[in-house]
Each structure stands twice: as C-alpha cells, then as structure tokens.
Structure 1
Amino acid sequence: MPDPRRGIPRTDQVLADPRLREAVDRLGARLVKGAVVAAQQRCRGGEIEPAAVADAAVASLPAGATTLRRVVNATGVVVHTNLGRAPLSRAAVDAVRTAAGATDVELDLITGRRGRRGRGALEALAAPVPDAGAVHVGNNGAAALALVTRVLARGGRSVVIARGELVEIGDGFRIPELLESVGARLREVGTTNRVRLSDYAAAVDSDTAFVLKVHPSNFTVSGFTSSVSVRELTELGLPVVVDIGSGLLTPHPRLPNEPDATTVLRAGADLVTASGDKLLGGPQAGLLLGEADLVERLRRDPFARALRVDKLTLAALEATLTGPTPPVPAALSSRPDDLRPRARMICSALPPGIEPEVVDSEGVVGGGGAPDVVLPSVAIALPECLAGPLRGGEPPVVGRLERGRLLLDLLAVTPDDDGDLVAAVRRTAGDAAGHEER
C-alpha cells in the first residue's frame, strides 16, 4: 500500500489557501508558516489526513500576533498585577490606535517646528491637580521616584526615611534598594511601628537631600503606632517628597485612608510620585507632580531621557484623564445592587446542570492599594472543577476558589464582557459533560 503521508501538501500549496493568505497580512509570514509546518508534522504523525492540513493550520492560528491573551478578570481583585493592573478604557484604546501611526507627538503643526512632547497628556494630568505647579511623566512609579532621588541626592547625599516605610513594592524589589541603586545614602529613623518628628530632625544635616515619605500601600500596621504627617515634615526646612503609590489624584469616598496628590500637595509636599496604572486606571506610567522649578529640573536631567514614556503611553494617559470613566474607577464605584441583576441574567443563561448560584462576595482593590478596604460584591458560584478549563478557554476566565467552589466575581468584569463570560462557561460546561459521557 502506498504511504498516505506522501500526499502531504507542500508548504507553498497550503499557504495558497485564501484563509492563510489573509492571515499572513494580519499576523505575518513567520507565524503563519509555523502553523502550517506544525500541521504538516501532525499529518506525518498520522493525527490528521493530508486534506485537513490547511484546516488544522487555520484552526491553530492565534487571534493576534502577540502571545498575550485577553482575560476576563472575575477574581474580585480590581487592580490585578498578574493580569496587567488597570484595564484601559475604550477611549484610551482608541487613543493608542491613533498614536500607533505617525503623530504630532513632538511637532507643532501650526509652526512646523518641534513642539513640547506629550503636551496634551501633561495638561490633562495637571488639570485635576491645580495645586501642582508642574507635572512630568516617566515610565512607571519606581522610575519617578528613582529620577527624583538620582537628581536631588546626586553625589551620595542622604535621604531621610522612616523605618516603617522601607517597603517591598513587589516581585522582590524594595524601596531602600531602589534608592541606593541611584546613588543615595539612606538615613533610617524611628522604629518599625513608631516614628516622631524629633527622629527626623536628629537625622537631618547639611548633607541631607530631602525627606521621603512612602505610603505603605500594600500592608497596614495597627496597634501601638505613630507616624509624622506631611505638614509636620515641612517644618524641617527641606524638600519633602511623598510617594503616594497607587495614583489617586483627588480624594475617593470609598478609600478614606488612601493618600491623593491634591491633599498631599496642599499639606506642603514639594513633590509627589505615583503610578498611573493603578487607581487612576490608566497605562503604566510614573506620575510626578509638584513645585514647578523642581519638576523642570527633573525633566531636564539627562537621566529623565532614559525613563521617557512612548507616544502610546502618552495617548492612553491623556484619554484616561479626559475621557469617560475608566474600568478601575467604575469598579470602585459599583455596588452589589448594580451587580446582582447582571449576575442573575448570567446565571439564567448558564446550563442548569452545573447549578450556578448568585452569591454575595467580597472584592479588594489590589495592586498594593487600600489593603484594609473590603469591597462588597456579587459573584456566580460554580463547581470548583471548572476553574482550570475556564482559565484555558477562549477567552480565558479567571475566578477564585473559595470553600470548595469557583466564584466568578463581577466586580472587575465590565458589562461588555458578560456575553463572553457566559459563552466561556457554557462551552466549558459542555466540554466537561461530553468528557464524562465518554
């Protein structure tokens, strides 16, 4: 008998399929050719027939030319670091598409001369914080603090900071190591749980560059504690830099203990640093707001060039600040009464065999923000065995396991994702039922 594998179509024949020609335009020749070669290999192994090679190659193609996958965040964690922190608003996504091509990011179209880079984004950042004399944007929160430290503490000058604020900011990175990596010397004051103004005053000398206050955003210390306010620190007569962490520009009613840029600047801080992809709900960026001369000094330092954001970030940040409410602030403002009707509709669309149930839930802010705040929410309870298959589906749905059940919490799920969530659960439940029958 002739070997059926001899009938495997050549690569160029398979690539001539109209579906794969279109995919080359969308995904690139390298990725599509790889899918074809993999399908041919399956045919050589006897898994598929030669006539099915093109179909198998098409079926294996990703939706886009990136290995990143869109995920439905049903964990109840609003700012989930492992899921990319803040999801962008539609306005921000549209702005990124606009910025992806040639733009006037550094061109004054009226004069034809070089313009101020990111003018629109900077104006949008300054608008809600009129107490800031000037603003600047770096590529993340750690970069903003590193820029401040490198410039103000140049030459090995010291930075005074309370021991209880020497925090780890995630993935093993720590504030003291960050400061020392750009040349600063640390003067630690107080104890883990208590610090006084006199401790700071005793550590200040002619070599002190500034006093740093870091909000311990990802933990709380309670009991026998004391700290020194920003207003008290200004009495030392040195620049006061405050890293507020999560990026609130103004007070938020549901987060009363979370510092915001406006309040901190009004208390007398000279500079405020924060992240743009947490509570602000924008792209990854380091926000820097404060006294105009200091901000300009930082902006013009050569090190600022190494931390510069690209045009996509500038576009997304501006749209986040000027457009409709982004998903993160929307989630923070949602209430169980808003979520429960959606949960009931989703439940009614799911197969009764998996016994879906609408239950009360508790979400959290996440991303190192407001660790002591519980956000009342609503979830859909499903069998625990669906957790893995849902994570591996399309799109992946990530929930959380609690007391033997899988909870799909709607706090961070936008209404636009409800249909995809239903389809994913129905498909997963159907696959599970079919597997049991076999």
Structure 2
Amino acid sequence: MNAALPLAAPSALAPIKPSLAGATRTELGDALRTLGLPAREVKMRAAQLWHWIYFRGVRDFNDMLNVAKPMRILLAERFTLERPAIAAEQVSSDGTRKWLIKMKPTGPFDKGAEIECVYIPEADRGTLCVSSQVGCTLNCTFCHTGTQKLVRNLTTAEIVAQVMVARDRLGDFPGGVAPTDGIVPSGEGVRAVSNVVFMGMGEPLYNFDCVRDAIGVLTDGEGLSLSKRRITVSTSGVVPQLEALGRECGTMLAISLHATNDDLRDTLVPLNKKYPIHDLLAACRAYPGASNARRITFEYVMLKGVNDTPAEARALVRLLKGLPAKINLIPFNPWPGTVYECSDWETIERFSDIVFNAGYASPVRTPRGRDILAACGQLKSETEKLRARARMMLEESLAVGLE
C-alpha cells in the first residue's frame, strides 16, 4: 500500500503593501516613522515625498531623484505609490469622460469597491466631479445614484486618488502626455484639472472628516495646489455640518435644493424631513465666509410639471432673499426607470428670466455626458447596474415561465 503523500502547506499570503498615494502629511510622517527614522529626518523625507507624489506625480520611488538610493529601496520594500485602477472609461460625444474606478480591497472579504468619477473639459478649465461614498443613503427620487445602497465611505486617500488618477490619465502632471481621443484644455497656465466638485456619488457631509482631510491635501500649495475657491462641496442639506465645512475647509458651497416648500422637498429630497428648508437656509445665512464674492450656489433640477412653474420661480426668489446666492438651474437628466421628465426649454427659460430679473444669477447648466450616463444625477457604479440588469432578466424569465 502506497503511503499517502503529505499535503503541501498553504503558502502564506504576502502582506499587502500600503500605498502612499493619497496620504496626508501626518500619514506620510507616520509611515516614515515605521522605518525607524529619527524625527529630524522624518520631517525632511516627508517634504521630499510630498513633492514627488503630489507635485511631480511620480509612480515609482526610483524616480525620486533627490532621495538616496538606500532610502528608495527601503521605501519600495514597505510601500507603493499605486493608484486605484480605471476599470472602464467612456468618452462622450461632447468630450466628457466617465471613469469607473476600482479601489484596492480593504480586507479579505472585500473585492474592491467601485465608484464613478466624471471629467468635464471646457476651453479654459477642466472640472472633475469626485465621489465621497460608495453608493448613497439619501434616496433623492430624481437621482440615479440615490437608487444604489450605501456600501461605505471612501477614505481620504481614495478621494484624493480620484484627482491623481484623472491627472495621470489627462497628462496633467509634469511630463505627462494628454490623451488624443477627446478634449483636454491646453494652453499656458491652463491645467487639465483646475476645478473639483464633490458632486459625485454620496453625501460629502456624511463623510465629513475624510472630505475635510482630502480637501487639505488637494489645496496644499506645495503639491496638487488647487484653489479653495475652485473646489465646491455640494450637499443635500446636512445642517449640523455646514458651519464646520465653512470654518475648516473654506471651499465654495452648493445646496441641492430643488423645491421651495417642505411638502415637495420631502418627496424629492427625503433628508428634508430631518432638516427642513427653514433650518437649512438659517445655516446658509450663517455659513462662514459667505459673501457676494463667495456666493452659495443653490441647485435646482427642472422637473416637468413638478417644480417648474412661474409661481415656483417667484417663491424661490422670496425664499433666498438676502442670501449671497446664485441659482443653478439643472435640466433633468433622464435615467432608466425614472418617473420624471425634463422641463420644456421654454419653461426653463421663463423660470430663469424670473430669477434673473429678481437680481440673481441663474445660469442653466448645459447637460454634459448624457449619452454615457455621466450627467448630474446619473452616476451609479457599473457593478450595481449589472446587478440590476441581472435582476430584471431573472424577473422577466420568471414571468414568462408563469404564463
């Protein structure tokens, strides 16, 4: 009888090396201290890494030319500069780009979260719409993202990494090469990513600490160096966090309003049941830094037969009286399964005229990226879309079987 062969011992899983791409200054210092460096050297090395990671956008420690080779080897043994992966890219006929970005797994049972990030190029600037959560909890009835369940908050590094991924792809770091398959702003002093808006997946103020720290990295003058006035945080109205946002971040503020009375807003933006319009506007009036030079943007989606009458326009003017505000009118962007339609163009123009004649700027946002579901309110991760299609196909097959 042959003796049984011994089973091979399972190989130990190699530890996952953390990436320093997206780290805050404090996190960089903490990482360097794990290497046993003295305090004076930690400060110096952290400044070097910051420059190479965020100003130069390098992806390999060997490219850090003023860092000694032994230190580069040590850093590569313990860390990476890896970004999240672009799982898919779509380019709209109008030049808008949408990326499905896959984050690294955070543990053994995490397959890697997916979020969508949108880039909108114009002649003199490029705006990147970033996500702050995987999914959303707000269930705004006109928003496709709101139909996706919340998976988790994004980390500070994952928020910052969206900007780094975009700059990599668009050739926006020194020595980078811009893609040739679409529009990218160019010219002296023009950056491909000049503006960032927190208007992607999720409610930023429900992930306040990570959003605040990410803004700190994005606006650091020795790195990515974005102006605070070119960063806008859009919220559906998490009233208790508004004061902290203005005081600690100093960014521009956008309020997802969409209605002039609580009954309608309770339906469109269910968060209104917790923080009604009166409380929301009181917090806006007290928002730190708000002035005619730093106006609050009120977003108002135009829904046919729902909130688009001249009476609603006049009510909106009365509601915002005395606030340093501009009103951004957003033609509704349709998505599969929605019950809403976009207001007619004549209706939108009439609404805009009433607001404008009352003294408020009332630009009508040009829909961008509709053909790739990249427009406002259309974001939803590809994984969730595939699951929805699979459920629909299963339901259809079951229905056929019952006939």
Q: What is the TM-score with the length of structure 1 in the denominator?
A: 0.27
User: Whose helix proportion is higher, 1 or 2?
Assistant: 1
Q: Of the two structures, which has the highest relative contact order with CA contacts closer than 8 Å and spacing of 6 or more?
A: 1
Q: Which of the two has higher C-alpha Rg?
A: 1
